[in-house]
Structure 1
């Protein structure tokens, strides 16, 4: 278990009255207080999480992603002044649009473009 730091954070939670009553009775029967019981519960939860295989796998994946990003950043910094950047990769999704095409011609909806109120005639 990690050692508590000298800096503390206040954590306020809302619980229903039934849980509060149960927790109060547990604390009273154990000869402790609500704060001590909450710390025990949090510590037990953290210890249980450390044994959860799914959580361990997620943590390892997160660590690997962080390390990969760190390596990429280190390489970028190392090559900042020494290496020549590679050419940009070709963009397959780029579509050439002729200059004669207007936004109305590009629309696939088949609807007429809206006109401004001042340009309507016949009123």
Structure 2
């Protein structure tokens, strides 16, 4: 029996540092693992301003979704973890620029800290056309 769960990987995002895939897909659903703002070559950007980290984290998510055959309009839900509730407005502004007319369901969760000192982590669920 073949595994019905597809594991998605791309060279356009940093290699996962733990025991997880960039994304998994089951039937037409794609689940993107939480993405920090590391560059595709794995170098860290935790020392960069919040805005740059958001742009990189969202770029990572969209690159992985593209590998799975999805774009922003295919995204059903986004969850973002941000350090500091004061960063909410900046996240929202950049998110709106990146997603344009696409308006997936979204949750922003303020947290006290993230791994490696990052200020944002983003995960997503999308649907591929059947």
For Structure 1 versus Structure 2, the TM-score category normalised by the shorter chain is under 0.3
Find the structure with the greater CA-based Rg.
Answer: 1
* Higher relative strand content: 2
- More relative contact order, 1 or 2 (CA 8 Å, 6+ apart): 2
